[in-house]
Chain A
Amino acid sequence: MTILQLTLNGLALGAAYALVALGFVLVLNAAGAVNFAHGDLVMAGGMLAVALAPHITSFWPAPGLALLPLVLVLMAALGLAVSWLAYLPLRGRPHVSVFISTIAVGIILQNGANALFGGEPRAAPPLLWGGTVALGPLVVSVQSLAILAVAALLIGAQQWVFARTQIGRRLRATAQDPEMARACGIPVTAMILATFALGTAYAGAAGLLLANQFFVTPTAGGDLILKAYIAVTIGGWGSVPGAVVGALLIALFEVGVSAVLSYPVALGALYATLLVILVARPQGLFGEAARRRA
């Protein structure tokens, strides 16, 4: 029973991590460069939810859920701004230029959040309401179930759009071979901007989901970008389904080992496992697909 309970908790945390990793890998594939500000964009989503919550809470019974579309839209706009300022002017230069510019964006976001909100942890409102529900012998927090549902909906929507629509096909083609996509008539720059917007919107959603149970601080992004990086490494560099599965595995590992030992031990063991995977299977669990940018 305990294992079931831990699995459910791990899946809820993993669902939020999966949104972080999904946004990270989409931008990685489209831009061909790591967005080191991604963790800080998750933090920004959480802070945005904290800032907007007082304006919603008074007249809406489920303030977190009401905040979600608002956070998605505003974070998508922030993603466009980031790509406009920190990516497009540097496109075509060595990748290290984009690394540095996104690190700079991350530091700006951290210090901006610190200046606006202070350094103390803050909590966003729950998606629906606080408390727990009994599922047979299991006691589950409503927020965990809501996180699972929202993350599944957002990931499912992304998968559907990418698989079934023309814009999704164009986004995938751009990620796989931008020059050839351009030679097929696809407006590649617009597709990259759209990917930044989508990836950042999902980062914001993850920030909102995580900021209720785990709180948000201006420096929280550092840990989250590492989690996204590990998820993508475990799943297979560039693999979209690999990133999602990698994020779920990380969360299950964290929750499982924390329950038996402690959180610091879980983190240490996570990085040790990462080292083993890098040595034994450097292409990641979905490496074959990743090599071909599935």
Chain B
Amino acid sequence: MSGLLRLDGLTAGYGGATALDGVSLTLVPGEAVALLGANGAGKTTLMKAILGLVPAAGRVAFDGTDLAGVPTERRVRLGLGYVPEGRRVFPGMSVRDNLEVASFAAAARRRDRMERVFALFPQLRVKAADTAWRLSGGQQQMLAIGRALMGEPRLLLLDEPSLGLSPKLAAEVFAAVRAIADSGTAVLVAEQSTARALAVAHRVALLRLGTLLHDGPAEALPPDALRAAFLGVPGGVPGGDPLADARPGG
């Protein structure tokens, strides 16, 4: 299998602190990978390093192209889509403008693409003329995902898409993520809610303190790996296992 995204020894940090330490990872076209790890594990930094939003050492290759020295905007045009933590929609722009601005296609194709986004998120069609800051958190998350889809990405990077959402809205958002993955777009999703991420992903990449602890099918996840990644301890915790429902089959 040829890799759509290949990371080799990716290392990044802020000031003197290392946030990512030699991470190597490959995604193939159409694959959905859950990027798991506690706060500070390096999930957001990994996504930003892939996009070139933070300086990083090591190699990032997308569809065979080495991205060294390639600016972020060019990486996006090559087929990377990004849904950041906290949504970051353009607050003073309408829903329609938020979507249109992220497309580089001709007008007819742009309209077609927007129709597909509206089909995935019907609420956005109703709110198309509204200013983005007036939307609810869930609608803003839908808009952030829709905006990334307008660029027709081959790999969608989703950073904490359920953060701050009610369980019902989070389920709606993840249903859309599953539909996107099923349509053939590769997805790398970082998520605190392990159960939701595993329900979408074919594979799990587990980060702890910037290091890749596990990379493989969810079923092959070692029993203590999640506990080690999230709690930093290999053994049990008093009061039972808080991650039991997160593990495949849990």
Contacts and interface: CB of A to CB of B under 8 A. Distances in A.
A177 B88 CA distance: 8
Given A184-B76, A184-B151, 4 more contacts: A169-B97, A169-B100, A173-B101, A177-B90
B50 to A, nearest CB: 11
Contacts of A136: none
A289 B73 contact: no
Return the 4 tightest CB-CB contacts between A and B, nearest first: A185-B76, A294-B92, A169-B101, A184-B102
A170 B92 contact: no
Interface in A161-186: 166, 169-170, 172-173, 176-177, 179-186
A269 B58 CA distance: 62
Contacts of B53: 179, 182-183
Interface string B84-112: 10001011110001001110100000000
A74 to B, nearest CB: 29
A169 B93 contact: yes
Interface residues on B, range: 20 to 34
B133 A292 contact: yes
A293 interface: yes
A130 B20 CA distance: 69
A188 interface: yes
Contact of B91 (A186, A187, A293): A293
Interface in B104-142: 104, 131, 133
Interface in A143-200: 166, 169-170, 172-173, 176-177, 179-188
Contacts of A181: 90, 101
Interface in B51-89: 51, 53, 71-73, 76-77, 82, 84, 88
B65 to A, nearest CB: 16
B51 A183 contact: yes
Nearest to A184: B102
Interface in A258-294: 289, 292-294
Contacts of A182: 53, 71-73, 76
A289 B131 CA distance: 11
| Residue from the set B72, B100, B104 with the largest chain A CB neighbour count within 10 Å | B72
B91 A292 contact: yes
Interface string A13-57: 000000000000000000000000000000000000000000000
A181 B104 CA distance: 13
A179 B76 CA distance: 13
Contacts of A169: 93, 97, 100-101
Contacts of B82: 183-184
A180 B101 contact: no
Given A183-B76, A184-B147, A289-B92, A170 B101 contact: yes
A259 to B, nearest CB: 38
A181 B92 CA distance: 13
| Residue from the set A169, A176, A184 with the largest chain B CB neighbour count within 10 Å | A184
Contacts of A186: 73, 101
| Residue from the set B77, B84, B92 with the largest chain A CB neighbour count within 10 Å | B92
Nearest to A238: B92
A41 B101 CA distance: 31
Given A179-B53, A184-B151, A172 B73 contact: no
B51 A172 contact: no
B33 to A, nearest CB: 19
Contacts of B90: 172-173, 176-177, 180-181
A187 to B, nearest CB: 5
A172 B92 CA distance: 9
B238 to A, nearest CB: 42
A164 to B, nearest CB: 10
B100 A185 contact: no
A293 B72 CA distance: 24
Contacts of B147: 184
Nearest to B134: A292
A166 B102 CA distance: 9
Contacts of B76: 182-185
A209 to B, nearest CB: 29
A187 B73 contact: yes
Contacts of A170: 101
Nearest to B78: A185
